[in-house]
Amino acid sequence: MNVFTAEHVSCVVPSPDGDRMIFSGLSFAIRTGEIVDLVGPSGSGKSSLLTAFALLNPHASGSFALEGRDSGDFTPQRWRREVAYLPQKPILPGETVADAIRLPYTLAVRADGDAPASGVPSSAAGTPTRRMGLVGRFARLFRDDDAKARDLLPEGRIRATLDAMGCDDIDLTRAPHDLSGGQAARVSLARTLLTGPKVLLADEVDAGLDDENADRVASIMADAATHGMAIVRIRHRPPDGRATRVVTLADGALSGSETGDAAAPNGARKLRRTRNA
Amino acid sequence: MSGNAYDIDVWGLVVALAMVAVAAGVSGLMRMGIGRTLLWSACRALLQLCAMGFVIGYVIRANNVFLVFAMIGVMLVAAVQITLSRAKGVPKGLAGPVLLSLTITMLLMITLVTELVVRPHPWYAPQLVVPLTGMLLGNTVSALAVGLSRFYESMDERRDEIDTMLALGATAWEAARPSIVSSIRLGLLPTMATLASCGIVTIPGMMAGQVIAGGDPLEAAKYQFVVFAAISALTLVADGLIMAMVYRTCFTADDQFRPRDMRGTR
């Protein structure tokens, strides 16, 4: 069964000389435990597609479903907890690496206290919650969410998870900006994996890494996939043999599916574009 | 109202203007390029202050509650206009939120300081309410202008961080919170600096005025403290209110980051 489906996905970017269509009418589906590589030329809109999946792209539209439930049934926060976009640039705010990893657990969407998943996607259902009222927001401005996050995700827990991911070279008490590029990329990946999303959208997280670090990042993700996580990777490197299939985004169309099923990408649908990219 | 112990006559004004003229002349010789602006600003200030003195004099003599609030209304509208013209890089359509936050803080000021602390007769005593409102607005206007500019600047600087936080499931408020905190802090900095330095380094304007006019310095100090305390507390309130009202302009309805070019920046 497909864990995630997307249909009629379009992206139109406004520009001074008229709106520019990046892609339109795209469909995509991914099953539990699959690793799909998304490739294509620069500027073809790969990142735009992944941010659209995570409902993060203000220029994109489409209908998305997670385990058959429409994205409209989720709050944006609940949706993004299950369909996690991992940006290319690792942003690690906080005093220490441990703080940076705890960031997701300082957020209200995880305040109900479900413990971090250890590689296995959590079974938490995306029940829509009320938006916080003004009073609630003011209260949060002064509350110490860090202490709560420390309870939810103690140091030992982070250490054990990082070690299991082959990140035993990373000192949790270090300042995040002292990390090397490869370490920062792995911490950023570990942070998202610890939140246990059902779908991971990894936007070229191995860019700028040497082969050894790229391989470590890839094997961490492959391990998460064996635990049932569905993973879409944007990659520019040569195939590493870990992907179950490769999908190409070029000229506004998605094509190529090596395993493919009926709901999988409907390939060479020619799409009109108002202007050249 | 000739309460001043020592009045200033026309020649006093001429001397003051001549001082500015000399300074402008010197800056002209040194080619600093601000002489003309300085002179022009001084003339404007003289006219504005005299006009203000004349109007306040009229309002105090009329002693009419509607006239007092009409005057405060005009000051509020002017304050909104000045705030928006001083704030850089803010989107259009903030006049409403700014007016609302200034009005709320102004009403709090009148309620708390005037009616709870000073308790004048009549309750709308113009010689108290109008200058107090003026001092409060002067402070909140600059705090709001600085706070708003800093907020939008910070949101654009933190763009990657905000995207990361949203991707991890942050609400718009959670993603904006660091920018809100830093802009409120920056907006309050001058107020807190004044609080810390007054009485040691400076004699604040209001207290100085009362002392020069022959008032008891200790009474003047008490007045000054009440006003300072109210102003610093209410400036925080005004800044907090405006941030709560405007932070969503950086996000779409689906809690996506709305970049600067989609906000309709003025």
More confident residue, A91 or A208: A91
Q: What percent of chain A has a predicted confidence (pLDDT) above 70? A: 80
Higher pLDDT, A151 or B15: B15
- Cβ A53 vs Cβ A6: under 8 Å: yes
Phi, psi (rounded to 5 degrees) for B225 = -65, -45
- Give residue A51's pLDDT band: very low, low, confident or very high (50, 70, 90): very high
The confidence score (pLDDT) of residue A208 equals: 77
Q: Which residues of B touch A109 (CB under 8 A)?
A: 169-171
Geometric angle at alpha carbon A176, from A173 and A181, rounded to 5°? 125
Contact A56 B167 (CB under 8 A): yes
Tokens for A252, please give them.
């506004």
Minimal CA separation from B215 to chain A, in Å: 42
- Quick check: B161 and A93 CB within 8 A? yes
Closest chain B C-alpha to A190 CA, distance in angstroms: 12
B130 has pLDDT over 80: yes
Mean pLDDT of chain B: 89
The ipTM (two decimal places) reads: 0.82
Look over chain A and give the mean of its residue pLDDT values, rounded to a whole number. Answer: 81
Q: Chain A partners of B239 at a C-beta cutoff of 8 Å?
A: none
User: Across the strands, what pairs with A26?
Assistant: A9
- Residues 6+ positions from B116 with CB-CB distance below 8 Å: none
CA nearest A197: which of A100, A267, A93, A123?
A123
> Average pLDDT for residues A105-113, to the nearest whole number?
79
Give the per-residue pLDDT at A20. 87
- Give pTM, 2 decimals: 0.82
Could you tell me what percent of chain B has a pLDDT over 70? 98
Residue A128 makes CB contacts below 8 A (sequence gap 6+) with: A73, A74, A75, A78
Q: Which residues of B touch A126 (CB under 8 A)?
A: none
On whether the CB atoms of residues B210 and B4 are closer than 8 A, the answer is no
Confidence of residue A86 (pLDDT cuts 50, 70, 90): very high
Distance between CA atoms of B161 and B257, rounded to whole angstroms? Answer: 11
**How many other β-carbons are positioned within 10 Å of the β-carbon of residue B61?**
11
Average pLDDT rounded to a whole number, residues A99-125:
66
Contact list in B for residue A195 (CB cut-off 8 A) is 168-169
> A77–B257: do the CB atoms touch at under 8 Å?
no
Arithmetic mean of pLDDT, B37-59:
90
Termini Cα distance of chain B? 45
Question: What is the C-alpha to C-alpha distance for residues B265 and B255, in angstroms, rounded to an integer?
Answer: 19
Interface list for chain A against chain B, based on CB atoms closer than 8 Å: 14, 54-58, 76-78, 80-81, 84-87, 89, 91, 93, 103-104, 106-110, 131-132, 134, 137-138, 140-141, 191-192, 195
Q: Check: CB of residue A104 under 8 Å from CB of residue A46.
A: no
Amino acid at site A188? S
Q: How confident is the model at residue B103 (pLDDT cuts 50, 70, 90)?
A: very high
| Chain A positions in Cβ-Cβ contact with residue B104 (cut-off 8 Å) | none
Alpha-carbon distances, residue B72 vs A213, A217, B51, B129, B135 (angstroms) = 65, 63, 15, 9, 12
Torsion sign across C-alpha atoms A121, A124, A125, A128: negative
If you count DSSP H runs as helices and E runs as strands, how many of each does chain B have, helices first? Answer: 9, 0
Is residue B34 very low, low, confident or very high in pLDDT (cuts 50, 70, 90)? confident
Q: What are phi and psi of A235, to 5 degrees?
A: -140, 150
Angstroms from B229 CA to nearest CA on chain A: 21
DSSP code, position B69? H
Residue of B nearest to A191 (CA): B168
Among A121-135, B114-128, B246-260, which range has the highest average pLDDT? B246-260
Instruction: Check CB contact under 8 Å for B174 and A84.
Output: no
DSSP annotation string for A145-211: HHHHHHHHS-HHHHHHHHHHTT-TT--TTS-GGGS-HHHHHHHHHHHHHHT--SEEEEESTTTT--H
pLDDT for B209:
87
Cα radius of gyration (chain B): 22
**Are B171 and A132 a contacting pair at CB < 8 A?**
yes
Q: Pick the residue from chain A with its C-alpha nearest to B252.
A: A58
Q: How far is A143 from chain B (nearest CA, A)?
A: 12
Other beta carbons less than 10 A from residue B192's beta carbon? 13
Encoding tokens for residue A163? 């070690």
Tell me which chain B residues have a C-beta less than 8 angstroms from the C-beta of A131. 171
Percent of chain A with pLDDT over 90: 40
Residue with tokens 């990893």: A101
Which residue of A lies nearest to B158 if distances are taken between CA atoms?
A91
Percentage of chain B with pLDDT > 90?
50
| A196 vs A117: CA distance, rounded Å | 5
Chain B residues with CB-CB distance to A58 below 8 A:
252, 254, 256-259, 262
Structure confidence by residue, pLDDT tens digits, B197-246: 888 888 888 888 888 888 899 999 998 899 889 999 999 999 999 999 99
Question: SS3 of A13, please?
Answer: strand
Lowest mean pLDDT: which of B34-38, B97-101, B110-114?
Answer: B34-38
